[in-house]
Chains A and B, each alone.
Chain A
Amino acid sequence: MTELTPIELEALNLSLKVAFWNVIFSLPLALAVAWVLVRYDFPGKILVNALVFLPLILPPVVTGYILLLVFGTKGPVGAWLQSALGIVVVFKWTGAVIAAAVMSFPLMVRAIRLSMEAVDQRLEATAATLGASSPMVFLTVTLPLVLPGILAGTILAFAKGLGEFGATITFVSNIPGETRTLPIAIYTFLQIPGGEGSAIRLTIIAIVVSIVALLMSELLARRAARRVHGLDA
């Protein structure tokens, strides 16, 4: 019961790899999108907002199918990737990263956005009067104040990437060692006679990872709140 089999380990490692790259690629984009949504007003803002949060509402299978249509070798983006760069993402682990990124993006943006909204912009003006240029204000005031939100969003996105199922299996299928991530492996083991032991072991891992992620993100969110509300007592 305690020892993981190579097949189980392979699924766990693949999931960790997918979740890691998901976070690495999503974070800069999520920061930029959150910043634009918080600090700028422009026509079509509601549309951008809806687009970002759509994967949260849509059935994951639908998201996966759309990804397949767009990134498939005959899809607009997929065809270009293949002809121009020779990259194919369908049925590859990189495709699993894309699926995880799209699905976890709303969570990450929301966490960062909430903490950005809580930043007192008067503190930024204060920093400017003390001699800090805009990039310095961002680095020394805005970023440190938003950091708990960034960490919370990252943790949530990582956990979501670890466990994404519907969009992933629809988009990149279930290929051992390539796209069979942790939740897909659990699903597969449940289809095989005698696979329940593996399913349970992987389930426990999934539960532990999720709880730790939730606790950490909650803790960071609280710290952020304390900082912001501690201001101007």
Chain B
Amino acid sequence: MPGAPPGGYTALTLEVDVTCRLGRLHIEAAFEAGPGVTALFGRSGAGKTSIVNMIAGLLKPTWGRIAADGRVLYDSTVGISLPAYKRRVGYVFQDGRLFPHLTVQQNLGYGRWFTPAAERILDFDQVVELLDIAPLLKRLPTSLSGGEKQRVAIGRALLASPRILLMDEPLASLDEHRKQEILPYIERMNDETRIPIVYVSHSLNEVARLANTVVLVSEGRAEVAGPTAEIMARTDLFPLTGRFEAGAVIDCTVAGRDHKSGLLRLDSKAGELLVPLPDMDEGTMVRTRIRARDVMIATEEPNSVSALNVIPATVVDIRIDPPYADIRLDAGGDALLARITEYSVRKLDLKAGRNVFAVIKSTAFDHRSVGVAKQSED
């Protein structure tokens, strides 16, 4: 088993505090990334890629400081700017960028070759097994599918034994099916290597599923950072996270199959959820995202309604955004979000502190919004 992280390998951190002028875009980013996945989340063109390019050494900030594991990569005040090849920052690009003249095996070995033997933290076979790429080793990149290319690109970056791994929209160029194929590998990698990952994405699903920490990037500014569930539950950030897809993130445990309905049971602090998903091992930690627009609010417990998930909750706050209203709910300690109309708020006389029922259709859950996720250690 390529199981436990190699001995003596301690978790690393990344500190970023930079500004950079790029044409009309003024980038200002200050955040820290610890173990696990830190997502840089924001719309296309918000400056996310520029931020990771600065970390990798492919773009020079105008001012600031970048340090990985206490080692300064860039510091404008003392004039330090390590060239990209000395930074030991792994980078997985959106388009894979495998070397077309090298076989998969040679691509994988490329960065490893430049890494002194003593600093290699991962074993070649271990990575090949982790990413399931043994059958591809002899092939040329041109003959690989998009998903296979991306897996090889991830392996290549890992084998250079980076202190930080940057992933810039690694799934964006893949179709939905391929995305689902790659996501588990990224999750496994996160669990098994302990290399901090900075994950750039504009997909709420990916972020909700993978990230421990979210840094919101908007118009060049890395504005807000915090634990994923907390950021997702903040109604005031909906303009940044995107109203249509906005929703709460809840950690659950698989509790087996419900015999009456044939649906999968998930336990959470909010209560039991019934979801139409294939079998998963009991006790598996999963993370599920419930979109605000999929949540209805009832002031009395509804008895004859098709929706199977009725969860008692308390209104925490209401943010009016005519003609809508975003309601933040507390359900046994888990935050839930509901997006209803302003009219409904008035009609039901909703106020902070009022006890209500959140009603969620089982069909609101699908394989895209539910993923196996290890929770962060802390």
Contact A129 B100 (CB under 8 A): no
Which of A123, A125, A128, A226 meets B99, CB within 8 Å? Answer: A123
6 smallest A-B Cβ distances: which pairs? A131-B114, A130-B111, A230-B142, A128-B84, A129-B91, A126-B97
Q: Give the distance in Å from the alpha carbon of A131 to the alpha carbon of B161 in the complex.
A: 10
Contact B101 A122 (CB under 8 A): no
Contact B91 A231 (CB under 8 A): no
Per the CB 8 Å criterion, the residue count for chain B at the interface is 30
Given contacts A126-B99, A129-B90, A230-B100, 14 further A-B contacts (CB under 8 A): A125-B84, A126-B97, A130-B114, A130-B156, A130-B157, A131-B85, A132-B110, A132-B114, A144-B101, A227-B100, A230-B140, A230-B142, A231-B141, A233-B142
A148 and chain B: residue at smallest CB distance:
B101
Contacts of A137 in B (CB 8 A): 85
A131 and chain B: residue at smallest CB distance:
B114
Taking CB atoms and an 8 Å cut-off, the chain A residues in 117-147 that contact chain B are 120, 122-123, 125-134, 136-137, 140-141, 144-145
CB within 8 Å for A126 and B91 given contacts A131-B115, A232-B96: yes
Contact B99 A141 (CB under 8 A): yes
Q: Give the distance in Å from the alpha carbon of A136 to the alpha carbon of B99 in the complex.
A: 14
Q: Give the distance in Å from the alpha carbon of A120 to the alpha carbon of B97 in the complex.
A: 9
Contact A122 B57 (CB under 8 A): no
Task: Enumerate chain B interface residues (CB-CB to A < 8 A).
Answer: 56-58, 83-91, 93, 95-97, 99-101, 110-111, 114-115, 140-142, 146, 156-157, 160
Contacts of A123 in B (CB 8 A): 97, 99-100
A-B contact pairs, 29 of them (CB 8 A): A120-B97, A122-B97, A125-B84, A126-B93, A126-B97, A128-B57, A128-B58, A129-B58, A129-B90, A130-B85, A130-B156, A130-B160, A131-B85, A132-B110, A132-B114, A136-B85, A137-B85, A140-B110, A141-B99, A144-B101, A145-B101, A227-B101, A228-B100, A230-B141, A231-B100, A231-B141, A231-B142, A232-B97, A233-B146
Question: Counting chain B CB atoms within 10 Å of each CB, which of A128, A137, A227 scores highest?
Answer: A128
